[in-house]
Amino acid sequence: MENRKKVAFYTLGCKLNFSETSTIARNFNDEGFDRVDFEDVADIYVINTCSVTDNADKQFKQVVKKAMKLNDKAFVAAVGCYAQLKPEELAAVDGVDLVLGATEKFKITDYIHDLSKNDMGEVHSCEIAEADFYVGSYSIGDRTRAFLKVQDGCDYKCTYCTIPLARGISRSDALENVLKNAKEISAQNIREIVLTGVNIGDYGKGEFGNKKHEHTFLDLVKALDEVEGIERLRISSIEPNLLKNETIDFVSKSRTFVPHFHIPLQSGSNDILKLMKRRYLREVYTDRVNKIREVMPQACIGVDVIVGFPGETDEHFLETYHFLNEMDISYLHVFTYSERDNTEAVDMPGVVPANVRAKRSKMLRGLSVKKRRAFYESQLGTNRTVLFESENKEGYIHGFTENYVKVKTPWNPELVNTLQEINLTKIDEDGSVRLEFVNKLAEA
């Protein structure tokens, strides 16, 4: 048994990448490898890359350097979005031996025949048009929640985005396979499943390897709600034009789906939304938020927004700022626009200077803090259910309520991975919320 090879993984980017890394890791396990932490000495280091921001590119080099420091003879493989978009660039990074694109990453063990270092990374990346088959995956990281991939790729042509170039056309997992994966996850005593994909509201498309499909996102949600053993389901991020009233109504009455929506806006200015080629105008976004508030007043609503897009004037930015300030939302994820090769936006006029982008980003991050605080304050005194996580952070255990309020209470190992009914009492100086247990037994 001594000669089993050790493999370690590092994931950059989104929840979808985490679910795919988990699946790739299980493949290595089936091939007789032992998984170790990335901080440990391994024979193979696999880095799952991201292409969404400039930073992800820089991070990649640092991660490779770290692997080489741990074992300069280790075999280093790069997979994922950045590997698909810029394979030669990654292959040229010192220490990289293998680069696999969108379709090859799930067959990585087929490419690792001998683990001798290469002078230059070997590249296998398909024409993205060939990325038309679907590989289901899910991640089990911290054992309280799992990310379940239901869809991949995107048919939208947003002018700033490289994801269609990196992941190919929109395609979905077969409904029975999603349900099978959900059952496997719940059998492992995991309480919460987060649905992920590139454009999950598009679910159903490509279910049979072509554009025909039998199921919609609403069908998926309804079917998952009936899987026994799952206690919580969360929808990760869904386009406003694909979040239908029927889905919102269903979630409001559902057994397992929690009242938490994350809906990308990107800009509060219709002029900029048109330049971005988003498939809705701000009025649609207002409708979605109002509909959620009408049937789930306590829901948490998160928003993605991009600042500094080409052509965004001070007026456009203030339009976005006021739009968000006046809307009943709970927090923002703020992205500073960064130029990506092979996108339409890269050639657009009206480039916003970097210092202006940074200033706008800071203003919206400040607004997000204010919004989250106001949302948490609105929840004080209410009873909620919290799922406690597994880490002891400086003597406290943390968790999230169904509507995504982050709570903390003194560390108690018996609370790990349990759902407890609590009352939200006050906001702590670190921004999380303190609680009292409704059921006194929980404190014993």
User: For 146-167, how does the pLDDT look when each residue is reduced to its tens digit (9 = 90+)?
Assistant: 989 999 889 999 999 988 888 8
For the chain, domain boundaries: 6-126, 132-258, 261-373, 380-437
* Identity of the highest mean pLDDT range in 6-20, 28-42, 82-96, 369-383: 369-383
Alpha helices, DSSP H, located in 228-327: 245-253, 270-276, 282-295, 314-326
User: For 218-271, how does the pLDDT look when each residue is reduced to its tens digit (9 = 90+)?
Assistant: 999 999 999 988 899 999 899 999 999 999 999 999 999 999 999 999 999 999
pLDDT reported for residue 424: 97
- What CATH number matches the domain at 380-437, 2.60.40.1180, 3.90.230.10, 1.20.1050.10, 2.40.50.140? 2.40.50.140
Which pLDDT band, with edges at 50, 70 and 90, does 128 fall under?
A: low
For the cut 80, the answer to whether the pLDDT of residue 409 exceeds it is yes
Q: What angle do CA 404, 407, 409 make, to 5 degrees?
A: 160
Question: Percentage of the chain with pLDDT > 90?
Answer: 64
Question: Percentage of the chain with pLDDT > 70?
Answer: 90
Topology at the third CATH level for domain 6-126: Rossmann fold (3.40.50)
For the cut 70, the answer to whether the pLDDT of residue 212 exceeds it is no
pLDDT reported for residue 119: 60
What value does the mean pLDDT take over residues 176-202? 92
pLDDT reported for residue 17: 83
Topology at the third CATH level for domain 132-258: Transcription Regulator spoIIAA (3.30.750)
| Of 4, 427, 429, 419, the residue nearest 437 (C-alpha) | 419
Backbone angles phi, psi at 123, to 5 degrees: -110, 130
DSSP class of 116: P
What value does the mean pLDDT take over residues 201-215? 74
Measured CA to CA, the distance from residue 54 to residue 339 in angstroms comes to: 8
User: For 339-379, how does the pLDDT look when each residue is reduced to its tens digit (9 = 90+)?
Assistant: 988 999 999 999 999 999 999 999 999 999 999 999 999 99
DSSP class of 212: -
Measured CA to CA, the distance from residue 191 to residue 195 in angstroms comes to: 13
Looking at the whole model, is its pTM more than 0.85? no
Give yes or no for a contact between 358 and 331, defined as CB atoms under 8 angstroms apart: no
pLDDT reported for residue 112: 73
* 30 to 76, 109, 236: CA distances (angstroms): 20, 10, 29
User: For 29-38, how does the pLDDT look when each residue is reduced to its tens digit (9 = 90+)?
Assistant: 888 899 999 9
Does 380-437 match 6-126 at the fold level?
no
Q: Which has the higher per-residue pLDDT, 244 or 58?
A: 244
Which pLDDT band, with edges at 50, 70 and 90, does 120 fall under?
A: low
What value does the mean pLDDT take over residues 388-396? 91
Q: What angle do CA 200, 206, 208 make, to 5 degrees?
A: 130
Specify the CATH number of the domain 261-373: 3.30.750.200
Name, in order, each residue with C-beta under 8 angstroms of 72's C-beta and a sequence gap of 6 or more.
95
Which pLDDT band, with edges at 50, 70 and 90, does 293 fall under?
A: very high
CA dihedral 117, 118, 121, 124 (to 10 degrees): -90
